[in-house]
Amino acid sequence: MSLIELIAGVEAREATLTVFDPRADTADTLAGHFADRNVRVVDGSADEGPEGYAVLSRDGEFVTAVAVEDLLPGYDGGTTDGDSEPDISGDPGPSRVGEPVLDHLDETMFTSYSRADMVAASREIEDRAWRVGTGELHAGFQTLEVLTGEANTYDRLGEKDDLDVHAYATAEGDSPDADHYTVHIGRTAEIRETWFVAYDGGGYDDAKCALLAEERAPGEFYGFWSYDPETVDTIIEYLRERYQSSEATDGDDGATA
Query: In the sheet where 134-143 sits, what is the strand order?
Result: 107-113, 220-226, 209-217, 194-199, 134-143, 162-170, 182-185
Do residues 47 and 117 share a domain? no
C-alpha to C-alpha distance for 52 and 66, rounded to whole angstroms: 9
Question: pLDDT tens digits, the chain, 257 residues: what are they?
Answer: 899 999 988 877 788 999 998 888 899 988 888 876 778 899 988 776 678 899 988 888 888 898 888 888 777 665 444 444 434 333 433 434 666 676 666 667 777 788 898 999 899 999 999 999 999 999 999 999 999 999 999 999 999 999 999 999 999 998 888 889 999 998 899 999 999 999 999 999 999 999 999 999 999 999 998 888 999 999 999 999 999 864 444 334 434 33
Is residue 130 located within the same domain as residue 94? no
The domain boundary, picked from 52, 86, 105, lies at: 105
* Residue 64 within any structural domain of the chain: yes
Are residues 98 and 39 both part of a single domain? yes
How large is the greatest C-alpha to C-alpha distance in the chain, in angstroms? Answer: 68
Does residue 99 sit in the same domain as residue 113?
no
Pair (24, 92) in one structural domain: yes
- Contact indicator for 126, 153 with CB cutoff of 8 Å: yes
- State how many domains the chain has: 2
Q: Does the pTM exceed 0.75?
A: no
Distance CA 134, CA 131 (A): 9
Burial (Cβ within 10 Å: 0-12, 13-18, ≥19) of residue 141: buried
CATH number at residue 140: 3.30.870.10
Residue type, 72: L
Asked if 32 and 158 sit in the same domain, the reply is no
C-alpha to C-alpha distances, 219 to 5, 94, 235, nearest whole angstrom? 20, 26, 23
As a whole number of angstroms, the distance between CA 212 and CA 227 comes to: 12
Do both 123 and 223 map to the same domain?
yes
Examine residue 248 and state whether it is found in any structural domain, yes or no. Answer: no
Residue numbers of the domain that contains 74: 14-105
Tell me: do 150 and 122 sit in the same domain.
Answer: yes
Q: Do 47 and 123 sit in the same domain of this protein?
A: no
Q: Is 39 found in the same domain as 141?
A: no
